[in-house]
């Protein structure tokens, strides 16, 4: 903690005065300090009614607004201390650093008073496919079908997306680009070590590949290209491996013969002109706070001199969920008038990781997986919300340390797919750096969804995938996300206790070491080989990451059917016709798993069939002697989830209807 931040954290009288001033400003119509962080809000287009005039019940039609927000931050403000290199950034006449963010807003005619901000994933809008059964076309938000089931707007939520990623271009158009980005300052002339990494897919069969560097090269001297089959393997420079600069930011890579299809090509070099990527965290703070509180005519959510929004929720999915863990950890949930910005955050599939955003030559687009981007600093200590001590360094920290010091912690729900346990170190959110049990703080709830892969669409089916041993998992967690969103909204609006956490833990024995004998007892067809991506403590001070140590990674204990224990079991998993797991073994590497995919292993039809194949799992006929027995099992599972507020009544009823129609578990 810097001296400036310490002075700020421990000046309660000054903070109390600022809070009082903020309250006076909101009550008396003055411009609150928080609102002043957005210096210009430019509406590029406004469409009402949007979505081909589709109506969302009593909430009416929706208005779509496309805008750009210019915001300014003070480099001397301790709240901005988490922005790497902010002191070196160019400043305006007032001595502030500015950036411009894309913004898209979708608001029903009669909103419920809650603003729900989705942090875009690589510039994309994913909340529709994740929460609302929406198709891939959701990002365009033009046609009626783009809104999917329409749950979010029918409930009255005002939806907003704020560009935060500095290595995506701002749209600059009036129709709203497919990707939402952030225009950040460049530190022209600054140089330093940088690293890029590529894994070419089987479709990229050409021996010569053209790639882009994250940053332009300052010099071509000393640049080095290596290849290795896996992240843990030694870097090599075999005969036939070569590279050529096309320009300062473009390479041609010549691949050597006889390398695995998913080999890692790593390029280290001296880069120039880093961008102040950490301003993306300030965008998520300042623009969201503006939309919630500003009463001026410039704010499209204001009416009659005040914003219509009473509560502010945020959500992020995968990469953007990891960014929100950084957002909380680095203290960005405190506004300029020292209030919490977001009342609650719903983080979907972040695992135990954060992001590579606020760093010199940061690369927020990095996508760590089983064999990609594995050594980027995205999952360094602390990984858990509650404070603990790292035995390797002696350091004590937790994701909530800074927001607790300023009384600005949001309420948090973290929802992980089962895949995150195997590939994204999800157990580290509920264990310390020794792998011991670590209780969740009162501000946090956690849920693991059994049998789910990293991301599944509402229309997902179990189907073969090249290079993977088994068909993929079709389990879609959208119904759970709807129930949790309702629980979160009640939690922040009225203080109602949310659904209890449902996550494996060391304390109850449902988290175990990968490879433990209790895993997948005798289910040989799964091809289990103790899969789990290791978690390394790394140091990249010299540009080339070095592994300094390893942290424990635990995985769910499984029952006799091979299904994760201690997790949310949606009806298709609780009344199974197959075993669903969050990982899928690679055909080319028995010790590896396919990126972001789960697996489905159907149950045998009869006892005779399973005995012939050596399958220890009871067959369908043994479990469900009649069709009514299966429907009864689905009804019971749906009722239990509804009782525990993990399914809304409509979704519980829909699960039963799908079972009656034979579509609850879609196998291809």
Span 93-107, pLDDT tens digits: 999 999 999 999 999
| Residue ranges of E strands in 8-113 | 38-47, 62-73, 97-108
Residue labelled with tokens 């399958």: 615
Q: Which of 78, 77, 74 is nearest to 91 (CA)?
A: 74
User: According to the model, what pLDDT value does residue 529 have?
Assistant: 87
Burial of 173 (0-12, 13-18, 19+ CB in 10 A): exposed
Nearest to 273 by CA among 396, 203, 185, 210: 185
Helix (H) or strand (E) holding 581: strand 578-581
Per residue in 181-224, pLDDT (tens digit) is 999 999 999 999 999 999 988 777 788 999 999 999 999 999 99
- Decide if pLDDT at 543 tops 80: no
Reported confidence tier of residue 413, pLDDT bands at 50, 70, 90: very high
User: How far, rounded to the nearest angstrom, does the alpha carbon of residue 524 sit from its chain's CA centroid?
Assistant: 33
**pLDDT tier at 173 (50, 70, 90 boundaries)?**
very low
Give the Cβ contact number of residue 363 at 10 Å. 21
Listing from the earlier edge strand, what are the strands of the sheet with 208-212? 208-212, 250-254, 242-247
Q: By the 8 A CB rule, do 498 and 414 touch?
A: no
Residue range 429-456: average pLDDT? 97
**Distance, CA of 55 to CA of 51 (rounded, Å):** 9
pLDDT in tens, 364-412: 999 888 888 888 888 889 999 999 999 999 999 999 999 999 999 999 9
Average pLDDT over all residues of the chain: 91
Any idea what the Cα angle at residue 62 is, between residues 411 and 294, rounded to 5°? 55
Q: What is the pLDDT of residue 33?
A: 42
**pLDDT surpasses 70 at 32:** no
Whether residue 429 is predicted with pLDDT greater than 60 in this model: the reply is yes
Q: What is the pLDDT of residue 544?
A: 76
**Cα 135 to Cα 124: distance, rounded to the nearest angstrom:** 13
Q: What are phi and psi of 433, to 5 degrees?
A: -75, -5
φ, ψ of residue 401 to 5 degrees: the values are: -60, -45
As a whole number, mean pLDDT of residues 227-251 equals: 93
Looking at residue 17, its pLDDT comes to 35
Residues 6+ apart with CB under 8 A from 12: none
The token duo for 120 is: 């875009």
Instruction: Specify the pLDDT at position 380.
Output: 87
Q: Read off the DSSP letter of residue 121.
A: B
| Residue 388: strand, helix, or coil | strand
Q: What is the pLDDT of residue 232?
A: 80
pLDDT score, position 36: 56
- Residue 11: CB atoms within 10 A of its CB come to 13
pLDDT of residue 171: 57
Measured torsion, CA atoms of residues 295, 297, 300, 305, in degrees rounded to the nearest 10? 30
pLDDT tens-digit map of 115-170: 999 999 999 999 999 999 999 889 999 999 999 999 999 999 999 999 999 998 66
* Residue with tokens 């500095």, as numbered in its chain: 166
Closest CA to 350 of 382, 322, 327: 322
Q: Please check the confidence at residue 61 and state whether its pLDDT lies above 90.
A: yes
Where would I find the H helices in 89-212? 127-131, 151-154
Angle at 267 between CA 262 and CA 268, to 5 degrees: 145
581-597 pLDDT, tens digit each: 999 999 988 778 999 99
Average pLDDT over residues 411-435: 97
Tokens of 402: 């800074």
pLDDT of residue 169: 67
What per-residue confidence (pLDDT) applies to 667? 54
Residue 138, token pair as written in the block? 């959701």
* Mean pLDDT confidence for 548-556: 94
Cβ burial, residue 114 (10 Å; 0-12/13-18/19+): buried
Strand 599-602 versus strand 97-108 pairing type? unpaired
pLDDT in tens, 470-516: 999 999 999 999 999 999 999 999 999 999 999 999 999 999 998 88
Average pLDDT over residues 222-246: 93
- pLDDT of 269-307, one tens digit each? 999 999 999 999 999 999 999 999 999 999 999 998 888
What is the C-alpha radius of gyration for the chain, rounded to an integer number of angstroms? 25
Contact 491, 484 (CB under 8 A): no
Q: Which of 6-10, 229-233, 515-519, 611-615 has the lowest mean pLDDT?
A: 6-10
Residue-wise pLDDT for 323-358, tens only, equals 999 999 999 999 988 999 999 999 999 999 999 999
In this structure, what token pair is assigned to residue 654? 């829909």
Whether the pLDDT of residue 12 is over 70: the answer is no
Are 388 and 321 contacting, i.e. CB atoms less than 8 angstroms apart?
Answer: no
pLDDT > 70 in the chain, percent: 92
Residue 566 Cα distances to 127, 481, 577, angstroms: 26, 18, 20
Give 254-276 pLDDT, tens digit per residue.
999 888 878 999 999 999 999 99
pLDDT of residue 259: 84
Q: Is the peptide bond before 111 cis (omega within 30 degrees of 0)?
A: no
Residue 424 has pLDDT above 60, yes or no: yes
């Amino acid at each position: 903690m810097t001296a400036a931040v310490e002075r700020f954290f421990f000046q309660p009288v000054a903070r109390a005065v600022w809070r009082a001033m903020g309250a006076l400003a909101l009550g008396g119509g003055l411009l609150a300090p928080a609102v002043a962080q957005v210096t210009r809000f430019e509406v590029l287009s406004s469409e009402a009614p949007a979505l081909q005039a589709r109506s969302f019940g009593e909430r009416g039609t929706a208005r779509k607004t496309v805008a750009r927000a210019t915001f300014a931050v003070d480099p001397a403000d301790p709240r901005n201390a988490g922005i790497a290199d902010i002191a070196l950034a160019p400043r305006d006449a007032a001595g502030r650093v500015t950036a411009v963010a894309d913004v898209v807003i979708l608001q029903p005619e009669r909103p419920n008073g809650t603003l729900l901000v989705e942090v875009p994933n690589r510039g994309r809008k994913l909340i529709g496919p994740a929460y609302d059964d929406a198709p891939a076309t959701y990002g365009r938000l033009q046609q009626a079908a783009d809104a999917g089931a329409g749950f979010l707007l029918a409930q009255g939520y005002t939806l907003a997306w704020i560009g935060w990623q500095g290595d995506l271009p701002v749209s600059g158009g009036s129709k709203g680009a497919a990707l939402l980005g952030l225009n950040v300052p460049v530190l022209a002339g600054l140089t330093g070590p940088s690293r890029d990494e590529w894994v070419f897919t089987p479709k990229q069969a050409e021996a010569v590949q053209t790639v882009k560097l994250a940053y332009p090269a300052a010099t071509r001297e000393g640049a080095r290209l290596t290849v290795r089959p896996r992240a843990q393997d030694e870097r090599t420079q075999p005969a036939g491996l070569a590279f050529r600069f096309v320009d300062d930011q473009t390479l041609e890579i010549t691949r050597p013969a006889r390398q695995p299809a998913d080999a890692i090509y790593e390029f280290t070099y001296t880069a120039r002109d880093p961008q102040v990527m950490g301003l993306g965290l300030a965008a998520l703070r300042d623009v969201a706070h503006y939309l919630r509180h500003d009463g001026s005519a410039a704010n499209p959510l204001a009416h009659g001199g005040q914003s219509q929004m009473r509560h502010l929720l945020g959500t992020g999915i995968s990469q953007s969920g990891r960014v929100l863990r950084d957002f909380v950890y680095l203290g960005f949930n405190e506004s300029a008038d020292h209030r919490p910005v977001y009342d609650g955050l719903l983080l979907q599939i972040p695992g135990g990781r954060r992001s590579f955003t606020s760093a010199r030559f940061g690369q927020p687009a990095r996508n760590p997986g089983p064999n990609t981007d594995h050594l980027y600093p995205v999952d360094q200590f602390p990984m858990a919300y509650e404070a603990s001590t790292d035995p390797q360094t002696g350091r004590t920290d937790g994701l909530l340390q800074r927001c607790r010091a300023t009384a600005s912690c949001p309420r948090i729900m973290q929802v992980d797919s089962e895949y995150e346990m195997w590939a994204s170190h999800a157990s580290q959110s509920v264990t310390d750096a020794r792998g011991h049990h670590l209780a969740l703080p009162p501000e946090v709830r956690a849920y693991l969804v059994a049998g789910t892969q990293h991301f599944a669409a509402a229309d997902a089916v179990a189907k073969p995938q090249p290079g993977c041993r088994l068909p993929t998992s079709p389990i879609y967690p959208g119904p759970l996300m709807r129930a949790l969103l309702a629980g979160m909204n009640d939690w922040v609006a009225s203080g109602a206790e949310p659904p209890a956490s449902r996550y494996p833990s060391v304390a109850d024995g449902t988290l175990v070491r990968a490879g433990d004998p209790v895993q997948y007892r005798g289910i040989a067809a799964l091809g289990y080989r103790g899969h789990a991506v290791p978690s390394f403590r790394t140091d990249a001070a010299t540009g080339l990451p070095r592994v300094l140590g390893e942290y424990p990674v635990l995985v769910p204990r499984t029952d006799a059917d091979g299904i994760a224990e201690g997790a949310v079991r949606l009806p298709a998993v609780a009344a199974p016709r197959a075993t669903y797991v969050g990982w899928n073994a690679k055909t080319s590497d028995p010790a590896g798993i396919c990126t972001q995919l789960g697996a489905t292993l159907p149950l045998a039809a009869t006892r005779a069939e399973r005995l012939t194949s050596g399958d220890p799992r009871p067959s369908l006929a043994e479990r469900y002697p009649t069709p009514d027995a299966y429907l009864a099992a689905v009804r019971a599972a749906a009722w239990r989830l509804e009782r525990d507020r993990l399914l809304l009544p409509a979704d519980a009823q829909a699960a039963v209807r799908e079972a009656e129609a034979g579509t609850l578990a879609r196998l291809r």
